[in-house]
Amino acid sequence: MIDQPTGSQVSAILYKCNIMGTTCGTCIGGVNTKFGCAFCGGTCKYRPTCSVPAESTCPDVIINWVSPLSAPVEGHTKVTISGTNLGTSVASIPTVRLAGVACRPVTEDYVVSKRIVCTAAEAPGRLPRNGSIEVQLQGLGRVYNYSKQFRYVDPKLETVFPVKGPMSGGTRLTVRGKDLNAGNLDNISLTLGEEMLPCIVNRSTIGSHSTICATPGIDRPKVVTSVRMFFDGSVRMLDQNPFRYTEDPVVEKIMPLASFLSGGRNLTITGKNFDSVQQPKMFVWYGNEKSGTTNCKHVPEMSDTVITCPSPRAPSSVKATAPPTVSSLRYKRQTDENNRVKIGFIMDGVLSVQNLTNITNTMLYVVDPVFSNLTSDGSIYIQEGTNLVINGQFLNLAASKMDVTVLIGGVPCNVTSISTNQLVCTVPSPQPEGKDKNPPVVTVKMGNLNFQVGSLKYKQASEGALPPWVIGLIVGVVVVLLVIIIVIIIYNRRRAMKARQEYKKVQMQLDTLESNVRNECKQAFLSAAFAELQTDMSDLTSDLIATGIPYWDFHSYAFKVLFPRQAYHQVLDRIDVDPGSRPSVEQGMRQFEQLLNNKAFLLVFIRTLEAQKGFGIKDKVNVASLLMIIFLNKMDYATEVLKSLLEDLVDKSVTGKHPKLMLRRTESVVEKLLTNWLSLSLYGYLKTSTGNPLFMLYKSIKHQMEKGPVDVVTADARYSLSEERLLREKIELKSITLNVVQEGGEMLQCRVLDCDSITQVKGKLLDAMYKNTPFSRRPPAETLDLEWRHGRGGHLVLQDQDVTSEYEDGWRRINTLVHYKVSDGAQMALVDSHNNTLRSTNSNMESTFMSVNSSTPMVQDVEQGAKAYHLTKPQDDGTIQKHGHKVISEIFLTRLLSTKGTLQKFIDDLFENILAVNGSLPPCIKYLFDFLDEQARRHGISDPEVVHTWKNNSLPLRFWVNIIKNPDFLFDIQVSHITDSCLSVIAQTFIDSCSTSEHRLGKDSPSNKLLFAKDIPRYKEKVQRFYNSIKDMPAVSDQEMAIAMNELSRTCCTQFNKTTAVWEVYHYATTYHDEIYEELQDSPEASKQRLPMKFEAVADTVRGEKDGYAEINFKSDDMRHVQFV
């Protein structure tokens, strides 16, 4: 108690030492000495009350957190260390070292005992380094370490996406690279171009591998020459014009302009410059109320001018009432004023499309459609016939049949018509199955609306009636019995007569056959075809010197090899996921790619997939192609993985009964990987060495085939190496020369056959006009008309079929030059087709005629109900129709010998080039063959035929045969069906030449083996010399092979989206997640590297649940190809 005299004032300071000094450091250095506080007995007390001597120094330092944990190698980053007992005064600020580099303290930011702020110095040599965070009190020798390490990093900018955006700005520009979160995140900024335009960074998106910023607006389109990123005063730059500003998108037309209240109707928006916006969005507003937005989609191949947007749900203030009993058109007129809303779009920062003024931008909202149940009482509806009728109201007020989807148990029901009160669709056959064996549910989808209108069941045939198949079987048996009886009667009546006439008939046939054989042999072996072909190929060689061979670039070649006969694959585009989940998916795919670059994980992954029964051949081929895309920039790593998988395959094959069958078929991922690896590694060798003779062989076959008649329907030709594609008919023909009028009035002469169809003539004229021009750069024949210009007669457009076509007994003959009586020296011109109907008809006919499966000419003309034929019209029994007398078709087999003799030189040149060992031979061949020899020694295989067969199954079978049969993989050409069949025969001959087994020839041997019977032994000697020469070559070391593969990775340039390829592979990881996880746990090497946990972390990241990698240390000595986050 303090006594206070009357009329006086007393001032006092009340304090408690343990509140002012909560820790030792704050007690000793942070409390004013005038208060007499001291640290004793483990707490801060008033000194006179201490029962033990006061402490002059504090106990151990405690570090709670450090931020940031990285800095650019140039330094200048302010690092904050928070903890307890961090010094007692400014003079006693502890010494801080970051990764072994001193950190200069910032005294003005120091808080006694609680916080140290220091500036990171430059890393030695400006090289990245990792190390501990050390705090040492002055005067004391003990060093205190933080639990986490500090990193000096060298940030690098690699790419930006997208590469263009509207000049109004607002584009979400993603900058990708590494270590992009170096230093203090608040000090990270981005600028565009030399003008240093600020790109506003979204702080929440800053990560190690990517950062997102919003581009500013400018006044005109321009190219941004560089992108700069700043880190605590350090700067990194990405040049080479990474981004460009384009004209703002312009909306020109919106169709249709009506929707039901719930929205979801697809609207088509046309305009320009849409492709500069990654995610356009649409909204509507009514008065002051604005709807939600819907995501629009770019239309493939028209992404610049057309997008489709689902209509948004109408604002709540829009009220559409049910129409009276009037037509929908009258109802729309009545509701136009009350229910019309304005349309706007969000396209980055473009304001002009948010409030359109240049077009009609109002849309009518009408009442939602209502569908009635199939039955009034909810029972199962019995469907009779093929048309299902669904009743309702207001169905076509804002919808057409294209806007409605009807599903019966998940199977589409084709909508054929829609009216105000009814919708009609054609039910699928047979009846779809429902859930749990219940009748299927009928679901109607219209925009955002889904209606389940009940279940249905198809009406079955009445009981007691015979099923249709039983009736058909009875009729068939009766017909067969009748035919047998009639045949027996006729046979018995004519047997005697036939015996008397047989001798005379056989004699006449033998005389005719002898004459035909004599004439055919003279024609085959006394022709000047070889000399003519040599002259033509000499001219072709001269042209090639000037124009060059039309090779595909590496990207096109790789796509055709990895995905044969596919025009498109998902790896050409970005990942197709919801925009909201894209960041987490892409982050997860970067992590999964890092796992794939771990050899231990990848081997377990592939072996586990192949062990699954549901993992079929198509899946194996797809995974092998996707992995090759992922490893295109790490071909040395792909080679290591391939060796390990091949060792597994050898072990499995040797333990089996037939080791020679290894690599014979594509039954595993490694076999397809080997094919892809060889194809990509030998691309340069093909262009510099083997491509020339292969192209000459292709051109020689094409020239020789076109010198004789080719049936446009069956693809049979007079000159062929394939018996299946041999034209077994004597065709009277004449070679004529056409004068072709080119642009500018120049004349070009072209030789054709008068029996050629009009389509064939157009193809030959295009070949002459665009000689050695890549096929993809030539105008398609179906877009051109052949116009005959014959003086005063005017111009006549020639067509494969027209009103003048010959028609007889249900057959319509394809028009030829003979049909039009075109004479030698006639003047022709190729002009743009102006008759769409004719062009469409001809295009359909041409595709029908050249069908791959067309082995007979019985092609149905849909419009005329007639069968089309070109050179030969088969009888109903399939025999060849001859004029005059029958001819045995085998006499035309001499044409095979004639064609083979003409092409012999070019076949020999190709095989000689393939089997040549010289300085340009790629090291991968020697490396592969030595590997197979080493595996044979490792397993004690002494039979040389086994290793020889392995080599045959690897290089010749998996690479050369594929290239020979598919030259369009390497060249920008079109391979016709007859040329393809000839190349297949040559490829089979090459395989037979590589085999060590002797082929016994007999009367039943295939014609291609008989055709090259004398050549195959000579080719076999070349193959054996080739293998021996490779064996005698100096060995290729692993280091030399790695250098060669790295050079391939450096030079190959493709447009594949590697992230999409990783995403496609990840689908298999999710399908067989549990199996892969169990195998990883069972693998000692995988467990050692904590691969199971990392695999689970990828799934967490993709689901967006957490950053799966944030809590895992990914360092591993065996992951030398990987740099993890």
CB 720 within 8 A of CB 981: yes
The answer to whether residue 518 sits within a structural domain is: no
Q: Are residues 977 and 1024 in the same domain?
A: yes
Q: Hey, how many other C-beta atoms are within 10 angstroms of the C-beta on 927?
A: 20
Least confident of 259-263, 566-570, 727-731: 727-731
The Cα 429–Cα 449 span in angstroms is 26
Task: Report the sign of the C-alpha dihedral through residues 166, 171, 176, 182, in that order.
Answer: positive
Q: Are residues 766 and 809 in the same domain?
A: yes
Start-end of H helices in 72-200: none
Q: pLDDT band at residue 520, thresholds of 50, 70 and 90?
A: low
The Cα 304–Cα 306 span in angstroms is 6
Q: Select from 659, 696, 663, 699 the least CA-distant residue to 678.
A: 663
**Looking at residue 544, what is its pLDDT?**
54
Specify the DSSP class assigned to residue 410: T
Q: Are residues 720 and 828 in the same domain?
A: no
Distance of CA 29 to the CA centre of its chain: 68
972's tokens: 């920008």
Tens digit of each residue's pLDDT (9 = 90 or more) over 903-925: 999 999 999 999 998 878 899 99
More confident residue, 521 or 626: 626
Q: Are residues 390 and 348 in the same domain?
A: no
CB 709 within 8 A of CB 895: no
| Cβ contacts of 1104 within 8 Å, gap of 6 or more | 581, 584
The Cα 940–Cα 942 span in angstroms is 6
CATH number of residue 76's parent domain? 2.60.40.10
Structural domain of 616: 563-632+1053-1103
Question: Prior bond to 68 cis, omega within 30?
Answer: yes
Q: Are residues 357 and 374 in the same domain?
A: no
**Looking at residue 537, what is its pLDDT?**
52
* Domain stops at, among 212, 246, 280: 246
Distance from the first to the final alpha carbon of the chain: 66
Q: What single-letter amino acid sits at 516?
A: N
Least confident of 56-70, 318-332, 683-697: 318-332
Q: Are residues 863 and 905 in the same domain?
A: no
Q: pLDDT band at residue 8, thresholds of 50, 70 and 90?
A: low
pLDDT (mean) for 729-749 = 87
Give the pairing type, strands 129-136 and 95-98: antiparallel
Check whether 567 has a pLDDT greater than 70: yes
Q: What single-letter amino acid sits at 1002?
A: G
Q: Are residues 1043 and 1060 in the same domain?
A: no
Q: Are residues 117 and 254 in the same domain?
A: no
Give the pairing type, strands 164-166 and 243-246: parallel
For the chain, what is the mean pLDDT? 83
Q: What single-letter amino acid sits at 176?
A: R
The answer to whether residue 657 sits within a structural domain is: no
Q: Are residues 739 and 863 in the same domain?
A: yes
3-state SS assignment for residue 949: helix
The answer to whether residue 6 sits within a structural domain is: no
Least confident of 162-166, 315-319, 654-658, 941-945: 654-658
Q: Are residues 745 and 825 in the same domain?
A: yes
CB burial string 678-704: b at 16+ within 10 A, e below: bbbbbbbebbebbbbbbbbbbbbbbbb
| Cβ contacts of 260 within 8 Å, gap of 6 or more | 365, 366, 367, 368, 369, 394, 397, 398, 399, 446, 447, 449
Specify the DSSP class assigned to residue 179: S
Check whether 540 has a pLDDT greater than 60: no
DSSP assignment of 967-1031 equals: GGGTBS----HHHHHHHHHHHHHHHHHH--SPPPP-TTS-HHHHHTTTTHHHHHHHHHHHHHHHH
**Looking at residue 30, what is its pLDDT?**
67
The answer to whether residue 420 sits within a structural domain is: yes
Check whether 847 has a pLDDT greater than 60: no
| Cβ contacts of 325 within 8 Å, gap of 6 or more | none
DSSP assignment of 38-101 equals: EEETTEEEEGGG-SSPPPSS----EEEEEE-SEEETT---EEEEEEEEE-SSGGGPPEEEETTE
Q: Are residues 903 and 999 in the same domain?
A: yes
pLDDT (mean) for 626-655 = 91
Q: What single-letter amino acid sits at 927?
A: Y
Check whether 750 has a pLDDT greater than 60: yes
Q: Select from 929, 347, 945 the least CA-distant residue to 678.
A: 929
Distances (CA, A) of 977 to 551, 591, 867, 880, 974: 21, 46, 21, 21, 10
Q: pLDDT band at residue 225, thresholds of 50, 70 and 90?
A: very high
For residue 445, the cross-strand partners are 405, 450
More confident residue, 81 or 85: 81
135's tokens: 């705090």
* Domain stops at, among 153, 184, 215: 153
pLDDT (mean) for 994-1005 = 76
The answer to whether residue 500 sits within a structural domain is: no
Percent of the chain with pLDDT over 90: 49
Check whether 153 has a pLDDT greater than 90: yes
Q: Are residues 262 and 129 in the same domain?
A: no
Give the pairing type, strands 281-286 and 294-295: antiparallel
**Rg, the chain, Cα only:** 41
The Cα 509–Cα 492 span in angstroms is 25
The answer to whether residue 595 sits within a structural domain is: yes
The answer to whether residue 1112 sits within a structural domain is: no
Least confident of 441-450, 458-467, 937-946, 963-972: 458-467
The answer to whether residue 908 sits within a structural domain is: yes
Q: Select from 618, 765, 641, 732 the least CA-distant residue to 1064.
A: 618
Check whether 651 has a pLDDT greater than 70: yes
The Cα 1028–Cα 777 span in angstroms is 44
Q: How many domains does the chain have?
A: 8
**Looking at residue 324, what is its pLDDT?**
57
**Looking at residue 77, what is its pLDDT?**
95
Tens digit of each residue's pLDDT (9 = 90 or more) over 395-423: 988 899 899 999 998 899 999 999 989 99
584's tokens: 């987490």
* Domain stops at, among 429, 458, 487: 458
**Looking at residue 503, what is its pLDDT?**
61
